[in-house]
């Protein structure tokens, strides 16, 4: 009896299956790793942001690979590899936050490279920005880590505030400011769920809606930023390892 594999589906069927799969996995990891609380309307909003971003990432990788590759099976492979990387980082990020392993050296040595794979574009830019920041202050900036995030405390700060670029965060000390570390790690988790393309799509659309307000709310001010704030709060409420002064 003949069997039918996914690569035997036509282009439209593959595209549809992968986009739907990306949406479902994005929703699931937004709840598990991104801590979207489905008992609240805001949690559903966060989960749908993650789901849509993941679907955009998966569909875009398929379309881009199809456009540049002569191998008819390559688009499917690339998209499924991305979904596998998303699942791996999602599982690791979920374990890290639920078991409070953010300061565990072994955990960080695994989580950092895995999260790089899901956000190579933002993370590569983050490395260059961190290098420029360190050069600007004579390589005198503090370098700390928190979970899957490497933090460079330099002075090249957008909006004069800490910010995240994948596995890198900037302009604060993670050892002395756990609240900010949790918040910026939340953005990193979002990137691991939505990927470079999906996350960029939300920043772009968010920016369009902010035009009448003069970009007053900053990058992702209507979408990814409120989600990171809720992630930070949810993580803080369950982190029993925090010092009393950090509560």
- The tens digit of pLDDT for each residue in 141-186 reads 899 999 999 999 998 986 668 999 999 999 999 999 999 999 999 9
Q: What digits encode the pLDDT tens for the residues 54-96?
A: 999 999 999 999 999 999 999 999 999 999 999 999 999 999 9
Secondary structure of the chain as H, E, C letters? CCCCCHHHCCHHHHHHHHHHHHHHHHHHHHHHCCCCCCCCHHHHHHHHHHHHHHHHHHHHHHHHHHHHCCCCCHHHHHHHHHHHHHHHHHHHHHHHHHCCCCCCHHHHHHHHHHHHHHCHHHHHHHHHHHHHHHHHCCCCCEEEEECCEEEEECCCCHHHCCEEECCEEECCCCCCCHHHHHHHHHHHHHHHHHHHHHHHHHHHHHHHHHHHHCCCCCCCCCCHHHHHHHHHHHHHHHCCCCCHHHC
Global pTM reads 0.90
Q: What is the mean pLDDT of the chain?
A: 91
């Amino acid at each position: 009896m003949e069997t039918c594999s996914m690569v035997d589906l036509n282009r439209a069927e593959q595209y549809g299956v992968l986009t739907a799969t990306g949406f479902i996995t994005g929703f699931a990891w937004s709840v598990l790793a991104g801590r979207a609380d489905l008992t609240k309307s805001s949690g559903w909003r966060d989960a749908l942001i993650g789901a849509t971003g993941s679907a955009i990432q998966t569909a875009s990788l398929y379309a881009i690979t199809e456009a540049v590759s002569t191998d008819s099976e390559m688009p499917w492979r690339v998209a499924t590899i991305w979904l596998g990387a998303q699942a791996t980082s999602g599982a690791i990020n979920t374990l890290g936050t639920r078991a409070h392993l953010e300061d565990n050296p072994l955990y960080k040595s695994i989580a950092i490279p895995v999260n790089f794979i899901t956000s190579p574009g933002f993370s590569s830019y983050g490395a260059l920005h961190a290098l420029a920041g360190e050069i600007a202050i004579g390589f005198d900036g503090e370098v700390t880590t928190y979970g899957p995030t490497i933090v460079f405390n330099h002075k090249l700060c957008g909006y004069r505030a800490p910010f995240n670029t994948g596995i890198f965060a900037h302009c604060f000390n993670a050892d002395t400011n756990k609240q900010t570390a949790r918040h910026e790690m939340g953005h990193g988790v979002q990137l691991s769920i939505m990927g470079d393309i999906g996350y960029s799509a939300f920043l772009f659309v968010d920016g369009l809606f902010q035009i009448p307000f003069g970009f007053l709310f900053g990058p992702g001010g209507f979408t990814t930023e409120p989600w990171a704030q809720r992630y930070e709060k949810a993580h803080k409420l369950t982190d029993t390892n925090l010092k009393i002064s950090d509560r």
